[in-house]
Each structure stands twice: as C-alpha cells, then as structure tokens.
Structure 1
C-alpha cells in the first residue's frame, strides 16, 4: 500500500523555507508519510535558499521541487515592503503551483501552506484526493492570535495603530502596544497591512493550524485559541501545537575554527552574537555594539553580517564589515572574542557547552534553537514580529532581557550593551541567575514535548489521524 502523501508549500526567503523543510522532515520521520515540498524561492538572492534545499535533499526525507521564480516588478511598487513582495510572489505563483500539483503521479491528500501562502488553499478544490488544507505558523501562538484577531481590531481601532495610547487587549495574550505589534500592522495605508488583514480572514477557512510552539510554553494563548471565548469563536478550526521544530546539527566534514575556539573556553562563559541573515546594523550601532562587548569583559563570538539583499531590498551599510569596528578592536579582544564575517553553524554553536547567552534579533527560529539548548537571550529585535517575540520572551516566558528601547528606534549605547551582556552571562548577577534557571526549565520542557506521549507528539498524531495520514 502506498504511503499517504502530504504536500507542503514554502514562501520565498530562507526564514520561511527552513521551517517548512524541517516540518517536512519531522512529518516524514515521525509519521512515515511521503512528503513533497514545493519551494518558491526568492530568485535573484536565492543562493542561501539553494544551499538549504541541497542540504535537505541530501537527507532524503522529502521530495523537494524548486519552483522557478516569477517577475513581480509590474505587480508591486518599487518601494514595496518585503512582506508585500512575498505575498505578491505567492499570488503570482498560483498557476505554477497548480500545475506542479496536477502533474504529480501520487496525489497528495493534505496541503500545508505557511502564513503567506493562505491564498493557495483554494487549489485544494481543483485537485482530486486533496481533501484537507492546513496552515503552518512557524512562529508562536501569540502571532497566530494577533493575526486572526486583526479583523476585529481593524473595526475597533480608530486611526493608525502606531498612534494608539492604550495597549490592545488580545484574548489569551498580554496587552500589546505599538512597540510589541508586528511592524506590518502599524500603518493601515500600507499594502502589507491589507495583506495581513486578508490572511487573518483566510486562516479560519483552513481545516486547522499547526503552530511551532508547545503546550507547556504557551498554555494560556493556546487555550484561548481552542476553548470557548471570543478568540476560539473567530478561529473556528483546531490548533495543533507541534513544536519545537528546529534545525538539527549536521555532520561536520571538516574542523570548524569557531567550534575549535569554543572548545578552549570555560563552560557557559561565552555570549553568542548574531542578528540573523538580514540583521545588518548601521555603522554607528555596530561601533557601539563592539565597544559594549569589549566593555563587558565577557567572552563572545560575534557573527558580523555583511550588507544583505533580501528579495531585492538592499542594505545601505558599509561593504567591508571589519572597517566598521573600532580601531584596534580585533587586537584588544584577541583571545577573548571572535569576530566572524562569513557563515557560522548556529545550531552547533548554541549546542556548545561554552555558550552562556545569545544576543539575538529574536527571529522565532533562532529563539527556538536557543531555548531548546537552555541558552538565555539578550533580545535585540529589529523588524517584523521580532518586537512581539522579545516581549513574549521577557514578560511572559522569562528567558530573556531586552534593550531599553527598540534598536530600530535609537542607537543602543555601549554601556547598556555591556550591562546586558554581563547580566546574561556573569554568574554573580542575580537577575541573570533567574533567567538562566528559567531557560534550563524551558529546555527540559521542550524535550518532554517531543518524547513518546509528550504534548507535541500527541498533537501531531491527533492531527495526522484527523486528515487520514495515519490510521
């Protein structure tokens, strides 16, 4: 008898592709189903995506089809936001996705799209045997609650969200103000706001939602989404927390200098600094961050990004990252710190026993990679839903400290940087001790969720039975 077939569709961008690849790997390994992934790539800047697809193909867990990118220049304004471009590309890819699915010899019985692919769910009506359509939220339950509640807020809030004075009350979540909302919500006149409004209406039209969190981490929000009350009446469909689903360590074919350097450092003594693939900083902020790391007196590994292009949106930072560091910085911190300007194996770094903290942009993938290793976080949110993530980590979960102001709003000075780093890594800091204890509790909780009979293991089996992937 043929294996049941699940179809996953990824939006463009490494941050969207990797979660879908990892979800496919998990479905294949846990449920023993055939998984096909349709990867819509960015096009001009897809080298990192191509590498991720190549690595996933080597694992042979899923069949991966890379769909050629389409030109959307005539569909969006030249200054359109990244989110607007992603949604426009997914909309334009609809015929290609339909043709790819119809050409499959083995028809899928379930389709899973990510947050920006909800418009593709209508394709399920055109394909024989495809009877179920689900949305995968690669982020947390707060984000899901906010997006599906947005149509209610749209009628309730007067004027621009950026101007609200009282925090918004969302069922199952702490009240959120302009500093916690997703960036795409702040201005109604922006096309990306309209797209999020549409997505909020379309998610409840699915057969259910998979979320990359787990029951014990976000019990209050998950309860609000599922059990009575206003939010669950809006949601209408089942919510399945199946996280944490994160990248796993890959076999190392040759020695990596970062890991060799970490081998020589004391346990839990190093802060890892990485602001994501798109996390470039201004010249002034890079200087202050460097001075702060030096002033802290703590060991560090700093992945200092070169200016990045993402879906055609270019950074305006200096081309040579080393030139943006204080004069003599590399010499003064030699032996104490390590600056890396190329790719770094983040999962391996966070898994290393010498890592004691993570200064992070708070992308949810990076957050989960940190939490599953028991590494506390210095929250440095830059864009998208990272503002909300930072609030969740500090005020509800208790595994992080954050900057006094959003780094996107003002320069974070060297003294504050030094204080944050010392607090999260130095053993004698009392606040830091509480955060480190909590981080370890979350690590244990994340492991239990995916043990046999754990909350996420039960949840994925319940979902699989519902859509006939297992009997």
Structure 2
C-alpha cells in the first residue's frame, strides 16, 4: 500500500480487516475516514521530528491534504505520567539491584496472550540469550485449567524448572505492572513489545529500543514503521501471528538489542536515544508539539466564538 508521505506498507503488515472489504471493521474504518472532513481538526499523538514527511503530506497542499480538508495538529508524545511515589515493591526492589541498561522488559500488552507453544519458546529464548529480563506474563491461550492462582498459571505456561534456572537473571510478574515507571527505570535497556502505540511512545520517551513482537491490528504497521523507517527496533523474521518464533530466534533478537558488541544493536540503541532527545525538544517552549498545541488552542477559542462548538 502506497500513501503520499508514508513508506510503502506490505500486505503482510496491513491490518487484516483492511484486506477484506466485506468485513464490518473495514467498513467502520472507511466510515471514520469519511467523517474526518466534518471535524474542525485532527489531533495526532506524534511529533514532527518523528513523522515529519507524513505530517507534511497531511498538512501541505497535496493529494492527502485535499482528502483531509481540515488542520492536523501533531501534539505528541503524550504518555501517562509516572504515578505517585509508592512504597518499594518486589519489582523495583529487583530492578534496583541490576546494572544500568542491563534488563530486557517483556510485556505484550493487556491483550497479549500467546499460545502455550509460543510461551515455551519465548521462555527458552530468554533463558538461552543469557540476558537479564523482567517478563509480565499472562496465561497461555490454550491453558484451560480452573485454577486462578497466579503461581499455578506460571508453572503451567513455562518450561519445567524455568523459574529456578533463571532466578538470578530474570523476574516473572503475573500481576499488573506499572509500565511507565518500569520503562523509566535506569536498569531497563530494551523492550520486547507488541508495538501498541501507547507502549511505543512510553518506550521512545525513555530512549529504550524495541524488539518488535506485533500480534494484531495496527501493531503490524507500527512494527514496520519502527524498524524500517525510524530504526529504533528490530523485529522477528515473520509475524508471530503467522508462525511460532523459535527460541533460537528469540535469543538472537534479545542479544542484538541488548548486547554491546552487536553492530545492529548499537545503531538501534543510538537511534532510540536520538529519538528520546527529539521528544524533549518537541515539548520545549517553541518546540513543534508545543507550538502545534498552542495553535490548536487558539483555533478552539476562535471557533467557540463563531460556532459555539468545536469538533475534534
């Protein structure tokens, strides 16, 4: 798929619903697109330094801007702020003991469940990599047991003896984890992520490179964007939704993003830090997102006087 201002996206990276015009979700996406020109503007959670070409295509006189017909305001990155300081818990007690940038954070989102086979391969790959990790684990999709005990769920979904063998190098978490606070911790050096946009922004604002593990929907396009256009991520050779990713490939990806001697890993880490700096610039006085937000606020004031309503 070719869109002005955007890197071409292969069919494998498109949302499945966009490949079937009879699909209800496809029709819903089309409806949303058709209603954009009826609004007074579009707020986008990105920033000029990250997606300058695409934003220019949307805002400047051209094919895309003629379709949009309304102003586009890039006001990102907007992420949930760190929560209030709480008493230390087991997660941060463990992270505090690790070396700087030495831990891979593994979390596939609130809906990120894997098959039992893939869970085992991911576990074995993490162990094989020899890198420290913190894994927010959800029970495999094929687990049909009745137990609600988290320890039982972990023991069912992981290889026998995994927790004992990795006790010194890894931490498995079965409860909700404060992701923003974790990614901002100095010990985190990489993020194996499903590439949901919120998680992407939370990682980039901290300069943390990504191992892209997209599962569904727009995550596939996000992964392609992060690896092929921005260069802050590495990804699996095939989509994890298409086949089981082997433990050997998992270990290789982890070593690349975390290992100091890997050339590709060095480039990805350097680019992630470069993007982190750009996120700070965007929100400084006179920065691209700061200016865009002020422009939107002024337009809201103007519209409120003329129409009494603002549609965004």
TM-score by structure 1 length? 0.62
Counterpart Cα distance in 2 of 1:443 and 1:272:
18
Aligned to 2:63: 230
- Are 2:214 and 2:220, in contact at CA under 8 Å, matched by a contact in 1? yes
Post-superposition Cα deviations, 1:97-123, rounded to whole Å, max 9, x if no partner, equal: xxxxxxxxxxxxxxxxxxxxxxxxxxx
- Are 1:423 and 1:431, in contact at CA under 8 Å, matched by a contact in 2? yes
Aligned to 1:430: 263
SS at match of 2:301: coil
User: Which ranges in structure 1 are unaligned for 5 or more consecutive residues?
Assistant: 1-167, 308-314
TM-score by structure 2 length? 0.92
Mapping of residues 115-154 of structure 1, within 5 Å? none
SS at match of 1:217: helix
Aligned to 1:246: 79
1:402 is the counterpart of 2:244: no
- Are 1:274 and 1:304, in contact at CA under 8 Å, matched by a contact in 2? yes
- Are 1:249 and 1:348, in contact at CA under 8 Å, matched by a contact in 2? yes
Counterpart Cα distance in 2 of 1:235 and 1:407:
34
Q: Following TM superposition, by how much is the alpha carbon of 1:445 offset from its aligned partner in structure 2, in angstroms?
A: 0.3
Instruction: Tell me the C-alpha RMSD between the 2 structures.
Output: 1.4
Counterpart Cα distance in 2 of 1:406 and 1:246:
27
Q: Following TM superposition, by how much is the alpha carbon of 1:306 offset from its aligned partner in structure 2, in angstroms?
A: 3.5
Q: Following TM superposition, by how much is the alpha carbon of 1:184 offset from its aligned partner in structure 2, in angstroms?
A: 2.2
User: Which ranges in structure 2 are unaligned for 5 or more consecutive residues?
Assistant: 146-152, 306-312
Counterpart Cα distance in 1 of 2:156 and 2:11:
35
Counterpart Cα distance in 2 of 1:450 and 1:279:
31
Post-superposition Cα deviations, 1:248-299, rounded to whole Å, max 9, x if no partner, equal: 1111322121111011111111100000000000000000000000000000
For residue 179 of structure 1, the aligned residue among 12, 19, 28 is 12
Aligned to 2:33: 200
- Are 2:143 and 2:157, in contact at CA under 8 Å, matched by a contact in 1? no
Post-superposition Cα deviations, 1:225-257, rounded to whole Å, max 9, x if no partner, equal: 111221111011000000000011111322121
Aligned to 1:129: none
Q: Following TM superposition, by how much is the alpha carbon of 1:318 offset from its aligned partner in structure 2, in angstroms?
A: 4.5
SS at match of 2:31: helix
1:279 is the counterpart of 2:279: no
SS at match of 2:245: coil
- 4+ runs deviating over 6 angstroms: none
1:296 is the counterpart of 2:125: no
